[in-house]
Structure 1
Amino acid sequence: MARVLSKSTYSSLLDTVHKLPYRNRVQTLRKLFPHVSVDTIKCVVAQECQRRMKCSHGRLTSSETIEVMYNRYTNSILMGEEPGILLRLSDEVGLTPALLARSIVERHYQRQDKSKPAKLLVSTLMKNTALIDDRDLAFESYLCLLEDDEYGPIAEATKQSLGYEYEVRLRMELEKSQITFLHEDHLRAKGYDKTPDIKLEIPVAIDGQVINWIESKALFGDDEVHRGYLKDQLYSYWNRFGPGLVIYWFGFVEDLEKIHQNRIILIREKLPTNMVLMEQNPPVFIPTEAYPIDGS
């Protein structure tokens, strides 16, 4: 199954994602793109959903819009509709289930002067919906959290666990290859502020290119994602440690390395098996030019 996608395949995948409803998109995409890894499809869908929510969240959660949806919800409860009211409303309006549930809970706890409840209260209720004082709303919110793969405490815990899982996998594979390294916790203990996941104590060569550090990303690397990481993290690693490697475990768009121009940062979807251990006491990397961290 492919994880490295051509630009045309990735563009076609995104176009299809935009035409499908929020839930159950992965099953449809698996049939339409049988050659693409299901993990890659899931990741592309998740990232595109997050981008869409950033653009439309403000509009979909305005006071007027939430008031209309809250009234529809309460009317549906009074009419005795079957559970899943908020899920069906989520499909209709285009707001993810967890974000919709949070907005409805905020409206439910709205003060008499129409001011919103404290964010800490709402966050606590979303983490434990059993604390919501309305039985129907508690159950409806719980269903929303279960169905949302991108937002809410369940989704966030899953993402954090997945990221750590792949960091541990990377460490285990390096140890199996008998490559010595320092991980992020070691580097922070030494006083580094921005640190890659792995700093190799002895550099290795991959496809003829020496690398000094490795960054693990349990997601799909497209142009927008990668440029963001370059600005926030990767260029600072390059300035400090020299050339490195980024692993996008769920794949990436081909030719992504061309963004770096003459700054060498390799991109792979797994740890290469053709690593060549360099001799000890290698030459110290000194950048030939000074680059600002933001890559400009």
Structure 2
Amino acid sequence: MKLSRAEYKEIVKCTEHLRPTRQCMTILRQRFPNHSQSTLLSIFSLEYQKRTKRTMSRHQAPDSIESYYQRYLNEAKARPSVPVLLELANEVDLSPALMARVIVDRFLQDQEGGVSSKQVLNNMLREPSLIPDQALANHVYQCTINDCCYGPLVDCIKHAIGQEAEVLLRDKLKERNLSFLDENQLRTKGYDKTPDIILEVPIAVEGHIVHWIESKASFGDDHSHRTYLNEQFWSYWNRFGPGLVIYWHGFIGELDSQRDRGILLKDCFPSDIVTLCHGTSPATTDSLTG
């Protein structure tokens, strides 16, 4: 879904005071019923990550950590059946999963008498049953399942969605009998930094030649797209020629401004492509459902 910059800014404004719990999606869906949930969630996630980067140093200050930890201990004792860690995270505007990390890290310091092992900490966050304090384990679990931006559950979901998008892309290419090499095949050939797909025979999309395709299971906003251009897309262009980027969850329409320079943006697999033929006809136009 392509959004105008004005539409995007309207959604961003609505996210400014939302917390990264799953209830926030109900609010966004009600406010923007014509936009897909995946687009809304991707925009909110990107915006909340920006907010977190601006404020995380405050939450990680030693006095803040100690304050959160003591408040958690007192509240958990006074209200054992209430999700007090989740409430605390929402009150101070910190991701529930990140609050859980702060509290478990502080808990382990008490248990171990010093700085906790990062591996032990990560294992406990991934599997709260490993936490020796059952009450804390339950609170961490509540934070994990209610966080839509951070944490091991979100990481798994994002990875699965990314893999699903890449499989969909490969399936679409195979449907049209387009010869290509995927990222894994390219790595076996010695390439260290490659797009998801390199077409062995170039295609044309909306009059633009395409040698490679990159799949992004996210929304393309200004910051992420600029980062991708600088760190990935232009290097692909330098090595392999012009290409196509698919933002499966949509992008700001005004960002599709590099077509003449060789970077084309789409929000789905192209509906009309022109393929080079090896017969007498130099080209043929294929229509497919994307």
After TM superposition, the score normalised by the length of structure 2 is 0.92
Determine whether 1:159 maps to 2:158.
yes
Task: Please state if 1:9 is matched with 2:14.
Answer: no
Q: Is the 8 A contact 2:20 2:148 kept in 1?
A: no
1:20 offset after TM fit, Å? Answer: 2.4
In 1, Cα distance between equivalents of 2:112 and 2:158: 38
- The gaps in structure 2 that reach 5 residues or longer are 280-290
User: Which SS does the other structure have where 1:220 is aligned?
Assistant: coil
Q: Is the 8 A contact 1:202 1:280 kept in 2?
A: no
Question: Equivalent residue for 2:135?
Answer: 136
Aligned to 2:188: 189
Task: Kindly state the Cα deviation for residue 19 of structure 1 after the two structures are TM-superposed.
Answer: 2.4
Alignment of 1:216-295 (within 5 A): 216-258=215-257, 260=258, 262-280=260-278
Counterparts of 2:90 and 2:260, CA distance in 1: 46
Between the aligned partners of 2:75 and 2:210, the Cα distance in structure 1 is: 59
CA distance in 1, matches of 2:197, 2:112: 52
Q: Distance in 2 between matches of 1:123 and 1:280?
A: 54
Q: 1:113 offset after TM fit, Å? A: 9.7
The whole-number CA distance in structure 2 between the counterparts of 1:269 and 1:112 is 50
The 1-side partners of 2:265 and 2:63 are apart by 46
- Residue-pair matches, total: 278
Q: CA deviation at 1:232?
A: 1.1
Pick closer, same or farther for the CA change 1:181–1:75 going to 2, 3 Å. same
SS at match of 1:28: helix
**In terms of mean alpha carbon deviation, does 21-30 or 125-134 score higher?**
21-30
Report matched runs for 1:1-296 at 5 Å: 3-23=1-21, 24-111=23-110, 115-258=114-257, 260=258, 262-280=260-278
Q: Give CA deviations for 1:226-279 in whole Å, capped at 9, x if unaligned.
A: 111111111111001111000000000012122x37521100001112011024
Q: Is the 8 A contact 2:19 2:95 kept in 1?
A: no
Alpha-carbon distance in 1 for matches of 2:194, 2:278? 22
Alignment check: 8 A CA contact 2:20 2:147 kept? no
Corresponding position of 2:283:
none
Quick one: distance in 1 between partners of 2:71 and 2:26? Answer: 30
Residue aligning to 1:286: none
Instruction: Measure the CA separation in 2 of the matches of 1:63 and 1:81.
Output: 26
Cα displacement string for residues 98-124 of structure 1 (whole angstroms, at most 9, x for unaligned residues): 100010001111158974312111111
Question: Share of identical aligned residues, percent?
Answer: 41
Report the aligned-residue RMSD.
1.7
Confirm or deny: 8 A CA contact 2:128 2:140 kept in the other structure. Answer: yes
Distance 2:246 2:89 in 1: 34
Residue pair 1:111, 1:117 contacting (<8 A) in 2 also: no
Q: Which moved more, 1:38-47 or 1:212-221?
A: 38-47
For residue 150 of structure 1, report the CA deviation from its aligned partner: 1.8
Distance in 2 between residues matched to 1:273 and 1:113, nearest whole Å: 59
Q: Deviations over 1:152-194 (max 9, x none)?
A: 1111111111101100000001101111111011111111111
User: Within 1, Cα distance between the matches of 2:275 and 2:112?
Assistant: 67
Q: 1:113 to 1:203 in 2, by over 3 A?
A: closer
Say if 2:169 and 2:269, in contact at 8 Å, map to a contact too.
yes
- Which segments of 5 or more consecutive residues in structure 1 lack a partner in the other structure? 282-296
Whole-angstrom CA distance in 2 between matches of 1:246 and 1:73: 45
Hey, what's the Cα distance between the residues in 2 that align with 1:77 and 1:222?
Answer: 40
